[in-house]
Amino acid sequence: MPPRSYGRNPTRVQRLAACLLALLFAVAPAVSVKALERPVKIVVLGDSLSAGFGLPMNEAFPAKLAKALDAKGIGVVVVNAGVSGDTASGGLGRVDWSVPDGTDAVIVELGANDALRGVDPTITKNALDKILRKLSDRHIAVLLAGMRAPRNMGPDYTRDFDDIYPALASTHSVVFYPFFLEGVATEAKLNQADGLHPNAAGVDAIVARILPRVEELIGRARTARGS
């Protein structure tokens, strides 16, 4: 009986093994590149709305955003740099140390406290403008999350404040999300008892709505660093 030859008469098992091996080589390069891809580091520079006031840290916006991105297979590290009570001017005063070297992208979520306190919109706008300029000088991709004034502040103040964010978005190369609390503000079931801060369900709603813009931000950050 002539010796068996894998080349002349492969068995079903051998053919299957060959197919699996070919598939492995086809997939392996993509897998290895993905594994070597450095996660995008995002800093959320904000106030209590993003810091997670009244919530456990794992229920705050940065943590839930990271979880949502991870579920989509997007490698990120999201740093919570929110400070409850902070204003745009306060964010400007700490942006250099709140956004450390190695940061790829920043979500700027500031201005709510300015509106609640009736801060002159010019002051808020100037502070945000300087924050955006500082981040641009460092070649950091930015998502600007807009805010709206409470409707009881009067029509002139409301108009001037609400105009801040679209105006900045038109003059800076940022990803723009017009209203951070879109779909959540004034919805009792999505807010804590104070009616101002989102509860866990409210944070989920914010994350779901803003996620496409964050993915755009991540794309810009990867392009900027060449990976």
Active site residues: 48, 194, 197
Q: Quote the number of domains for the chain.
A: 1
Q: Residue holding tokens 């456990």?
A: 56
Q: Is residue 16 part of a domain?
A: no
For residue 103, give the CATH number of its domain.
3.40.50.1110
Whether the CB-CB separation of 203 and 53 falls below 8 Å is answered with no
pLDDT tens digits in sequence order for the chain, 227 residues long:
444 433 444 455 455 544 544 454 454 444 334 444 799 999 999 999 999 999 999 999 999 999 999 999 999 999 999 999 999 999 999 999 999 999 999 999 999 999 999 999 999 999 999 999 999 999 999 999 999 999 999 999 999 999 999 999 999 999 999 999 999 999 999 999 999 999 999 999 999 999 999 999 999 999 998 86
Residue 224 dihedral angles phi and psi, to the nearest 5°: -65, -35
Q: Is residue 33 part of a domain?
A: no
Q: Is residue 13 part of a domain?
A: no
Q: Is residue 15 part of a domain?
A: no
- Select from 199, 204, 177, 57 the least CA-distant residue to 107: 177
- Select from 141, 151, 131, 210 the least CA-distant residue to 178: 210
Q: Is residue 151 part of a domain?
A: yes
Residue 198 DSSP symbol: B
- Select from 107, 113, 112 the least CA-distant residue to 65: 107
Residue 1's pLDDT is: 46
Q: Is residue 108 part of a domain?
A: yes
Q: Is residue 209 part of a domain?
A: yes
Residue 50 is part of which domain span? 38-225
Residue 225's pLDDT is: 85
Residue 27's pLDDT is: 45
Residue 209 contacts by C-beta under 8 Å, 6 or more apart in sequence?
Answer: 182, 183
Residue 226's pLDDT is: 82
Whether the CB-CB separation of 70 and 215 falls below 8 Å is answered with no
Token code pair at residue 74: 């997007």
> What residues form DSSP beta bridges with 43?
79, 106
